[in-house]
Amino acid sequence: MKLIIAEKPAQARDYAEALGGFQRKDGYLESKDFYITWCFGHLIELEKDSVYREGTTWDLSYLPLIPETFRYTIGKDQKGKVDPGKKKQLNTIKDLAKKSTEIINATDADREGETIFLYVYNFLNLKLPFRRLWISSLTKGDIIKGFSNLLSAKEVSNLGKAGYARAISDWLVGINGTQAATLKLGNRNLLTIGRVQTAILKIICERYLKHLNFKPSFSYRIVTEHQFEQQSFDSATNIFERKEDAENFFQYLKPSHIFKEKIEAYKNVYPPLLHSIDTLIVEANNIFSYSGQQTLNAAQSLYEKKLTTYPRTDSNYINDENYSNLKSYLSSLAREILDLNFTFSQDKPKSVNASKLTGSHDAIIPTGEIKGYNTLSIVEKNVYKLIIHKCLESFSIKAIYKKGKYIFENNEIEFYTYTSVLVEIGWKFFSFHPEIEDEENGFNLDLSYIPGESVKIEAKELVEIKSQPPKLYTDANLIPDLTNIGKFLKEENSELLLLLKGQIDLNEVQIGTQATRPIIIERLKKLEFISIEKKKYIPTEKGLAYYNTIKDLKVSNIANTAILEKELKDIADGKLNDNIFYSNLNNYIKGIVSDILNIECKLKLNKKATFGFCPKCKTGRIIEGLKGFGCDQYKSGCDFVIWKVTAGKKLSEKNISDLLNSKETSMIKGLTSLKGSTFDAKLYLDEDFRVKFKFE
């Protein structure tokens, strides 16, 4: 008998259904050739730090805490006791292993799944040989094919080493960083330190502060208006950096331009690549405002329901075999789910390229199964449709634009008029919202001027162009920065570049993984370090105070976090010996603790709650004062305020929130006029952001 160990019960049932001939037992399934059982996720976990030290309270004396040998335990419940269900399931696996000749590791085909299996295998001290099931979908065909082409344990051994290294590094950074920072800097406040969590919080806080403290600069251009056969059009200069130069030229502008030439060219816009989990998260946030965690959960559910392939992938490509399979069902799927007629391009799509596969899995694609589609939630259906739409886009033909550039001259300065017309819609027809006007499909114009012809100026204007602050982070722009931290550091002109140069390839650096980033962002919300306002990540007062305390610590250094992530990937790829990694890690942990203990400061949390952005100045935050709720940018001139007592009535926090978010409250009873009579009214903000009464 062979023992198949799945990650979850549902996964085990899919295997049993595909292989056939199984009967349900207590905690496992059995056929004449196989036992199938499961892990309930993490049956085994790293022991708590308390087993390596004396006493029940934290103390600086034992830090840094770096165990010589790490211990593992059966998963605990919320009370800290061994979970009886997990203990029973572990005994089931142990008993089945005694009756088996071989084990097949059939957990999720990723680093986390590999770690879950190895934790159990090593904890039970199993000696049976094992092989690895590696599949990207849970359809019957892929399961059968996967069991016919099992990998050897050696082929995935580096992935297992990387899984252990990731868990141990997170444990060491979390335990040592959190306890050292809390005891030294916390002032009775818990300072949670996380290897990736702290870096992401720092990135969000620094972007917010740059946005808040942004000082705009100004540039200038001259725009002129013209008439051609009852059609108006504009022409404009390049940018003037100095206002004096623009004003000087504007003053001596001649009443007519001289037409110089017309340049026409066709621009090809090729189909996009397929979805990885990161690009899917970005698109779902842009279109539906879904959080990263919502999209990841939906994608995981679609995989478990056999509608799509494995979601935790960083690849935007598929191989030729998967493309061939897609061609057999994608057109019918598009008709049935999207009511679209689709024909594949004759050319081989760019997204079909096995040499470009960057990880263990192809891009996210539909499997062709549609059973259960009608039972999906709204979020799952929308994410599923995004995946199908992206396939249609990727496998379609290019879009083509006709670009025009008219060049005029006035007093030796050139003016330009640009045109852009979509002449071949191509793949854009299959976009999720093709009805939305294409940004590139702009102004169409056909001017039949001849070189040297005079073009009269009907009107002219000196336009001031105000620079914009860096955009606050959303899932749509945070994820790209975290997945390509090298590009982010270059754009930010960061000093961290000096630390990274020569150590790692900046194009391969990222913070966190596809699976962990959404979870960590959710954790930052639960810790009340960040909040979400209109899709934007805003640090709370607590988060900013925490950031200001730990921002200069070694553990908060984004470069160090990026280097650790790269080293974990190198272990998985067989490029780095894990013993070297642990040696470097131990030195890093010692440096973290020493760094914290040498800082002389305490965290001072600002207990004042904030109520979002100021509706008047758009940059300040609304905070509670003694007599009212006002903008924290009052020193810069913003006079917005909502008094706590209005018409003799103390306003509730809900009233304040309604005014700020909806600009109007519900009906408030018992207001008092200046003459002493009572009345009922709603409060609203007028165009000048003053509180007024609205009577029914």
- What b/e string do you get for 657-678 counting C-beta neighbours within 10 Å, with b at 16 or more? ebbbeeeebeebeebeeeeeee
Residue 490 pLDDT > 80: no
Q: What are phi and psi of 354, to 5 degrees?
A: -65, -30
Domain enclosing residue 189, as ranges: 165-213+471-597
Domain presence at residue 425: yes
Judge whether 416 and 236 are in contact, CB under 8 Å: yes
- Same structural domain, 265 and 325: no
List CB contacts of 289: < 8 A, sequence separation 6 or more: 535
Domain boundary among 411, 444, 466: 466
Domain presence at residue 66: yes
Residue 619 pLDDT > 70: no
Domain presence at residue 537: yes
- What b/e string do you get for 316-354 counting C-beta neighbours within 10 Å, with b at 16 or more? bbbeeebbebbeeebbebbeebeebebeeeeeebbbbbe
- Same structural domain, 407 and 263: yes
Domain presence at residue 616: yes
pLDDT at 144: 95
pLDDT at 198: 92
Whole-prediction pTM value? 0.79
- Same structural domain, 44 and 145: yes
Taking alpha carbons only, the member of 624, 628, 505, 518 closest to residue 569 is 505
List CB contacts of 309: < 8 A, sequence separation 6 or more: 136, 137, 303, 361, 362, 363, 364, 365, 366, 367
User: Can you give 459-473 as a three-state secondary structure string?
Assistant: EEEEEEEECCCCCCC
- Same structural domain, 43 and 99: yes
Residue 602 pLDDT > 60: no
Q: How many whole angstroms separate alpha carbon 144 and alpha carbon 152?
A: 17
Pairing type for strands 218-228 and 621-624 reads unpaired
The enclosing domain of 209 has a CATH number of 1.10.460.10
512-548 pLDDT per residue, tens: 887 788 999 999 999 889 998 888 999 988 889 888 8
305-326 pLDDT per residue, tens: 999 999 989 899 999 999 999 9
> Based on the structure, what is the number of domains in the chain?
5
- H runs (alpha helix) in 252-372: 277-288, 292-304, 320-327, 330-333
Q: How many residues does the chain have?
A: 696
The enclosing domain of 240 has a CATH number of 2.70.20.10
- Same structural domain, 403 and 390: no
Segment 676-695 mean pLDDT:
86
- Same structural domain, 202 and 224: no
Residue 696 pLDDT > 80: no
pLDDT at 607: 44
List CB contacts of 361: < 8 A, sequence separation 6 or more: 109, 110, 136, 309, 310, 312, 313, 315
Judge whether 244 and 440 are in contact, CB under 8 Å: no
What is the widest separation between alpha-carbon atoms in the chain?
A: 96
Q: How many whole angstroms separate alpha carbon 188 and alpha carbon 527?
A: 16
The enclosing domain of 26 has a CATH number of 3.40.50.140
Segment 274-292 mean pLDDT:
94
Domain presence at residue 604: no
Q: How far is CA 513 from CA 120, 517, 565, 572, in A?
A: 23, 6, 9, 13
Q: What is the mean pLDDT of the chain?
A: 89
Domain boundary among 597, 627, 653: 597
DSSP assignment, residue 271?
Answer: P
Domain presence at residue 307: yes
The enclosing domain of 332 has a CATH number of 1.10.290.10
pLDDT at 441: 67
- Same structural domain, 110 and 198: no
User: Which tokens go with 393?
Assistant: 């886009």
The CB density around residue 82, as the number of other CB atoms within 10 Å, is: 13
- Same structural domain, 144 and 10: yes
- Same structural domain, 262 and 408: yes
Domain boundary among 356, 372, 394: 394
Q: How does residue 507 score in pLDDT terms, banded at 50, 70 and 90?
A: low
Domain presence at residue 155: no
CA 304 to chain centre: 22
Residue 340 pLDDT > 70: yes
DSSP assignment, residue 5?
Answer: E
- Same structural domain, 18 and 128: yes
- Same structural domain, 245 and 371: no
- Same structural domain, 450 and 487: no
Domain presence at residue 157: no
